[in-house]
């Protein structure tokens, strides 16, 4: 301890003994701190005594105080109502529902608050920013953290996504801008991609091409054709995927020329359709995407998939001289296994409802299911639930658009309650049921929960459904 500090400590003790009315409090030595402004003599003495005691015990003076930070800006929007804040605190600290349902409710809270012009209260900002940094609620959270949230984010590198300082956030925003522009003006969206084409890296170019799926049409073909000559394989592959969705393109015509020689009709009374495998691709075929797929994959089978996915579906009906349902029935079982996936990709990518219905008769696929009108999709799933065990349908049900209709919701609940072998299905659908079951079925959900008996998992799952629906409704009501 220096003599100067010891002398100061002695002077401070003397001032304390005789009183501040009779002796001035000695000024602080160079301890790296600044006395507070406006303190009385008595307060200054107590502050100095506390500081001096801490220094004497530590055996060292404190490090210099950091420069004071800029003050947070004033908030321009009102904080969410108190009842809404209570729900948000429950969501970010306790997780009242399991799995993905929590994220859905959190996004609903953020979106509803943004629509109402409200923001997260300051005391919950750290929890909200941490949650959004590690989950899928980031986009919605950015709109409701307010001025103070952006001020906080600028002081924590993990939260840079809020102020768009992170490169990943900037890239995501650019792709969002392309998609938004394509919705309004597809040509302008494509022009935005082409503006920075020569300076973008391969990853950004490939992502930008993929974003053109929004508003995709024949006018995009010339640009996509040029992308087939891009130096980056990822860009060429994305261009091929989009051209697969344009059955009237020049590439589709080239694929049709490659497909026709591979299709052969055999039989007289009962005709069937046989498929051959393509030869090694020439230079033009390589440009169209028929490249070596690498080890572990049959090259010719892979090339056949690409040809089928890229050629117009009309090639099949022209060669077979039959409608799509008949064409599917004419395929040999082994051939059907090989090409059904490619036909499904083509039908789904081109939104071909006739082919979707034909393919779903033998190979249900959620991509095709999504093409059906809502009432037809509901009838299809209802028939499936009635004819098959629930466990075999969990993937179809999980990927079907939500919420389900009242009839399908009641049928699934009935299957859960009547079939004691649905444990696997309930586990597979646990994160789906809260957002999928129609609100009108809540009384039936409560009844099924009470009837679950000692099946703790089922009872917990159904309780989460009730909790989710209750919180979802409460969030909407809190901002009215």
Residue partners of 456: CB distance under 8 A and separation at least 6: none
pLDDT for 103-124, tens place per residue?
899 999 999 999 999 999 999 9
Residue 421, pLDDT score: 58
pLDDT for 261-299, tens place per residue?
999 999 877 889 999 999 999 999 999 999 988 888 799
pLDDT-based confidence at 1, cuts 50/70/90?
A: very low
Segment 443-451 mean pLDDT: 89
Distance of CA 72 to the CA centre of its chain: 31
Segment 432-455 mean pLDDT: 89
**What is the percentage of the chain residues whose pLDDT exceeds 90?**
54
> Angle at the Cα of 64 (from 61 to 67), degrees rounded to 5?
160
What's the pTM value of the predicted model, to 2 decimals? 0.69
Segment 88-102 mean pLDDT: 84
Parallel, antiparallel, or unpaired: how do β-strands 78-79 and 272-275 relate?
Answer: unpaired
Residue 219, pLDDT score: 97
In whole angstroms, what is the distance from residue 324 CA to residue 317 CA? 6
| 2, pLDDT greater than 70 | no
Residue 29, pLDDT score: 81
Q: Which of 74-78, 135-139, 199-203, 425-429 tops mean pLDDT?
A: 74-78
Q: Which residue has the higher pLDDT, 316 or 387?
A: 316
Tracing tokens 């400590």 back to the chain, one arrives at 9
Question: In sequence order, what E strands does 277-416 have?
Answer: none
Residue 84, pLDDT score: 96
Question: Which range is least confidently modeled, 95-99, 165-169, 239-243, 473-477?
Answer: 165-169
Residue 167, pLDDT score: 47
Residue 430, pLDDT score: 85
- Phi/psi of residue 452, nearest 5 degrees: -70, -15
CB 411 within 8 A of CB 444: no
Which is nearest to 235 in space by CA: 275, 196, 207, 215? 207
Q: Whole-number mean pLDDT of the chain? A: 89
Residue 420, pLDDT score: 58
Question: Which range is least confidently modeled, 215-219, 233-237, 386-390?
Answer: 386-390
CB atoms under 10 Å from CB of 96, counted, come to 16
In whole angstroms, what is the distance from residue 107 CA to residue 358 CA? 38
pLDDT for 382-393, tens place per residue?
998 888 778 778
Residue 169, pLDDT score: 47
| 14, pLDDT greater than 70 | yes
pLDDT for 33-69, tens place per residue?
778 888 888 988 898 898 888 887 777 666 666 777 7
Q: Is 321 left (phi over 0), alpha (psi -120 to 50) or beta?
A: left
Residue partners of 378: CB distance under 8 A and separation at least 6: 404, 405, 407, 408
257, 262, 268, 270: CA torsion to nearest 10: -110
- Locate the domains of the chain by residue range: 3-58, 78-165, 169-243, 252-366, 374-478
């Amino acid at each position: 301890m220096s003599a100067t500090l010891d002398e100061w400590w002695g002077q401070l003790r003397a001032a304390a003994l005789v009183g501040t009315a009779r002796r001035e409090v000695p000024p602080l030595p160079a301890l790296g701190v600044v006395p507070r402004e406006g303190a009385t003599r008595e307060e200054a003495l107590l502050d100095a005594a506390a500081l001096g005691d801490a220094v004497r015990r530590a055996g060292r003076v404190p490090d210099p105080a950091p420069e004071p930070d800029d003050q947070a800006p004033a908030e321009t929007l009102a904080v969410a109502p108190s009842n809404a804040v209570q729900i948000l605190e429950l969501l970010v600290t306790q997780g009242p529902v399991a799995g993905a349902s929590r994220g859905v409710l959190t996004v609903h809270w953020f979106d509803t608050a943004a629509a109402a012009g409200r923001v997260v209260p300051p005391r919950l900002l750290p929890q909200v920013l941490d949650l959004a940094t590690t989950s899928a609620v980031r986009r919605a959270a950015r709109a409701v953290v307010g001025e103070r949230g952006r001020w906080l984010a600028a002081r924590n590198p993990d939260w840079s996504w809020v102020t768009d300082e992170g490169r990943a956030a900037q890239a995501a925003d650019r792709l969002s801008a392309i998609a938004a522009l394509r919705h309004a003006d597809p040509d302008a969206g494509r022009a935005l991609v082409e503006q920075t084409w020569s300076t973008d890296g391969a990853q950004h170019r490939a992502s930008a091409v993929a974003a053109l799926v929004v508003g995709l049409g024949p006018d995009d073909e010339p640009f996509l054709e040029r992308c087939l000559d891009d130096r980056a394989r990822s860009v060429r592959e994305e261009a091929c995927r989009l051209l697969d969705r344009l059955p009237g393109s020049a590439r589709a015509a080239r694929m049709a020329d490659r497909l026709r020689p591979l299709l052969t009709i055999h039989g007289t009374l009962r005709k069937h359709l046989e498929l051959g495998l393509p030869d090694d691709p020439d230079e033009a075929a390589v440009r169209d995407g028929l490249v070596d797929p690498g080890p572990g994959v049959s090259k010719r089978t892979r090339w056949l998939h690409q040809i089928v996915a890229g050629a117009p579906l009309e090639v099949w009906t022209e060669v077979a001289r039959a409608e799509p349902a008949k064409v599917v029935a004419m395929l040999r079982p082994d051939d059907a296994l090989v090409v059904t996936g490619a036909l499904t990709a083509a039908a789904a990518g081109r939104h071909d409802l006739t082919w979707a219905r034909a393919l779903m008769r033998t190979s249900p696929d959620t991509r095709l299911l999504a093409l059906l009108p809502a009432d037809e999709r509901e009838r299809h799933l209802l028939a499936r639930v009635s004819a098959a065990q629930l466990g075999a349908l969990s993937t179809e049900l999980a990927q079907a658009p939500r919420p389900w209709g009242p009839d399908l919701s009641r049928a699934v609940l009935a299957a859960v309650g009547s079939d004691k072998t649905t444990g696997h299905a309930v586990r597979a659908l646990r994160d789906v049921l809260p957002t999928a079951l129609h609100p009108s079925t809540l009384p039936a959900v409560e009844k099924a929960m009470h009837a679950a008996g000692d099946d703790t998992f089922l009872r917990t799952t159904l309780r989460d459904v009730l909790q989710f629906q209750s919180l979802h409704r409460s969030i909407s009501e809190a901002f009215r």
